[in-house]
Amino acid sequence: MKVDGRCHCGAITYEAFIDPSKVALCHCSDCQMLTGSVYRATVQAPRDSFKLLSGRPRTYVKTADSGTKRVHAFCPECGTPVYASAVSDPPTYSLRIGCLRQRAELAPPAKQQWCRSALSWTMNLERIPKIDRQ
């Protein structure tokens, strides 16, 4: 599936091809901190399909507990997290779902990882009242 995405202010735009059934959630404490939310939702785009159309993201290299380093790219203007990848020669880009124009067309997440770090209430939101607008 071809997707296009952008940061909140529109300074960074891109396109890529993804498998819409490969959405994943990560509950690790690093992802919670880096997103400012309770988990990170992503889908992988092969390197050869990812094309930055405008803007130049700033990057931050995070070192995991395992020692693995990951580049996190974000808009220098509005701060929107856009993608993450391996530091050198990345095979894929981990695109942030919220930046994709086609996000509503993606399948529900196929997996969740680092669930031991998850906030307990994130595992079942069905009982929380829903309001369409505020």
The pLDDT assigned to 88 comes to 87
Instruction: Determine contact, residues 66/55, Cβ cutoff 8 Å.
Output: no
Strand order in the sheet with 13-17: 2-6, 13-17, 51-54
In sequence order, which ranges of the chain are alpha helices (DSSP H)? 29-35
The pLDDT assigned to 74 comes to 97
Q: What's this model's pTM, rounded to 2 decimal places?
A: 0.89
Instruction: Determine contact, residues 99/57, Cβ cutoff 8 Å.
Output: no
The pLDDT assigned to 124 comes to 85
Instruction: Determine contact, residues 13/101, Cβ cutoff 8 Å.
Output: no
Fold of 2-119: 2.170.150
Q: In the structure, what pLDDT confidence band is assigned to residue 59 with cuts at 50, 70 and 90? A: very high
The pLDDT assigned to 125 comes to 84
The domain locations on the chain are 2-119
The pLDDT assigned to 126 comes to 85
